[in-house]
Structure 1
């Protein structure tokens, strides 16, 4: 019996990993995909025509960047469901509007008109009964000190040179976002409770929780359809 069968995780499940920079979303994505024999879906940034321009001028390019991300994530989400599931997704479509676009608007690097246009577009595309939401969103959380330590450890120069105030703001925005998120079931996992790099077996307690959450969610959906 493989791990997917052991923990009653359907082979068409779609699981999204969310959390602020530094919590280990990519590590979790790969570990779950390997354990369950699922495919992965990672954010594609190498062909983004706006990313470089955005870092040079937030105010001019923030709207363009967010619309580009929305379109790409929407296409990726549709592709995953049309494929038939069996995917682990690194970062969700919901974070773009709930955190990044909103942050640009509130910080003055996106106009009110652009923000409202973006949000209306997001709501029309995503917040409808027809959009294929994931079976489960796994939110990785830790303390601000843990997040800052991990950012320093992985050594990306752009991140290490980013002001501390930015990471503090991002951390608190993520916490506020997840506390109000209800687009799909959420499993919160503390990054102190496992070590996927040194102890591969620490994935099994996570798989057990995933299986339970997805089973409960699908039972609820079945009851709703019967009503």
Structure 2
């Protein structure tokens, strides 16, 4: 156990968060890293989310509800990981909610100024404080938007397939802008064309070596 941690100099209590736009491969990398490092996983809760499908059907009505739900769930999950003593790979960060999704809903007119201000006030009080347990590393997955849109179609979630393609292009651009200015934790950027976890077993070693150099 923990042989990979020792080999690549990765702390056993590290919390590593995978960030990136929808369809970029966060869940696949989360599972593979956790399996190789003997870490636990923390996944974004899609099943059982009472607002997600409603949001894709009506952005204006459900954007605020969805963002508050995600904020509460991610905050509880962040606390849980640190209470366990670390050793987690996390699928999606709490920071993306406000800087990308809430901001996009506000800019698009899907969230009112009052709701946006209320959400940001709550986010700052909960997360942007010295007491919030930030991850040790953010791995940001990036790639060509046309390839990513193809992946979204391939995985077959109907609510995503029915979403206008312009939404995914807008989201991708916002992610790229966000990561350029992100400073709350160390960042490792990985292009999805640099590795192939399905067909190349050595890909995970390439990624672990990069993680070890940052941590």
Q: Which runs of 5+ in 1 are unaligned?
A: 215-227
Q: Which runs of 5+ in 2 are unaligned?
A: none
Match of 1:202 in 2: 203
> How big is the shift at 1:195?
0.2
> How big is the shift at 1:54?
2.7
C-alpha contact (below 8 Å) 2:153/2:161 kept by paired residues: yes
Match of 2:182 in 1: 181
C-alpha contact (below 8 Å) 2:64/2:115 kept by paired residues: yes
SS at match of 2:188: strand
Cα distance per residue 1:140-188 (max 9 Å; x no partner): 0011122122223323333233222111101101111111111100000
Match of 1:224 in 2: none
Match of 2:101 in 1: 100
Rg comparison, structure with higher value: 1
Q: Which shifted more, 160-169 or 31-40?
A: 160-169
Report the Cα distance in structure 1 between the residues aligned to 2:124 and 2:67, rounded to whole angstroms.
14
Q: 1:4 to 1:95 in 2, by over 3 A?
A: same
Matches within 5 A, 1:81-160: 81-160=82-161
Q: Which shifted more, 11-20 or 161-170?
A: 161-170
Q: Could you say what the CA RMSD is over the residues aligned between the two structures, in angstroms?
A: 1.3
Q: 1:148 to 1:61 in 2, by over 3 A?
A: closer
Match of 1:72 in 2: 73
Q: Which shifted more, 42-51 or 129-138?
A: 42-51
> How big is the shift at 1:3?
1.3
Report the Cα distance in structure 2 between the residues aligned to 1:100 and 1:113, rounded to whole angstroms.
16
C-alpha contact (below 8 Å) 2:53/2:159 kept by paired residues: no
Report the Cα distance in structure 2 between the residues aligned to 1:135 and 1:163, rounded to whole angstroms.
35
Match of 1:51 in 2: 52
Matches within 5 A, 1:31-50: 31-50=32-51
Report the Cα distance in structure 1 between the residues aligned to 2:191 and 2:183, rounded to whole angstroms.
19
> How big is the shift at 1:84?
0.2
Q: TM-score, normalised by structure 1?
A: 0.90
Report the Cα distance in structure 1 between the residues aligned to 2:155 and 2:47, rounded to whole angstroms.
20
Q: 1:133 to 1:151 in 2, by over 3 A?
A: same
